[in-house]
Amino acid sequence: MKGLIHVYCGNGKGKTTAATGLALRMAGAGKKVLIARFLKSENSAELKAISKIKDIEIMPVTRTFGFYNKMSEAQRREAKFYYEQLLTMVIEKVNKKEYGLLFLDEISVACRYKLIDINKLVEFLSTKPKDLEVVITGRNPAERLLVLADYVTEMKAIKHPYERGIMARKGVEY
């Protein structure tokens, strides 16, 4: 099976949830899954459940930096170094071991904020193992990622409780 590239984007809820569903499907088909998260912390409830599935491997988040617009310049430099190292480790892992799916959560946002060198990501996607399915999530992906993608799915917000002051709820939004 030829591995394809998926981009889940848009301002609506459900990008990570859709990619997590694909990870579950892939693991259910007996394929190994690697998940790496950018600009996220360890507090997403889905991680607790999917980390128990033997064919799903989650790269640990050892550092969190908060929202980009609240980071100092020093924190942005630290975050860039951290996320560049994470991407390097991910690429090394998928080139050494056979995975059916690589899920890069919020990497398009990390690229937009220049915390990831998009050239490195594009080069990897262009030369990835041929059977590897890759899912990229995040708002406003670069045109270069959309061109490489085989699937582009946009989640569009029509209405959201946040607009009424209802904050993110554990088990629903995280």
Residue 40 confidence class, pLDDT cut points 50, 70, 90? confident
The pLDDT of residue 142 is: 97
Mean pLDDT across the stretch 149-169? 93
DSSP-based three-state secondary structure for 30: coil
- The reported pTM is 0.93
Quick one: DSSP state of residue 64? Answer: -
Q: Which long-range contacts (CB under 8 A, 24 or more apart) does 58-62 make?
A: 59/34, 59/35, 59/86, 59/89, 59/90, 61/37
The pLDDT of residue 59 is: 95
Residues 133-144 pLDDT 10s: 999 999 999 999
Phi and psi torsions of 11, nearest 5°: -90, 5
Distance between CA atoms of residues 174 and 16, nearest Å: 10
The pLDDT of residue 116 is: 96
DSSP-based three-state secondary structure for 56: strand
Which structural domains are found in the chain, ordered by start?
Answer: 5-164 (3.40.50.300)
The pLDDT of residue 30 is: 97
Contact 138, 108 (CB under 8 A): yes
Residues 62-108 pLDDT 10s: 888 888 989 899 999 999 999 999 999 999 999 998 999 999 999 99
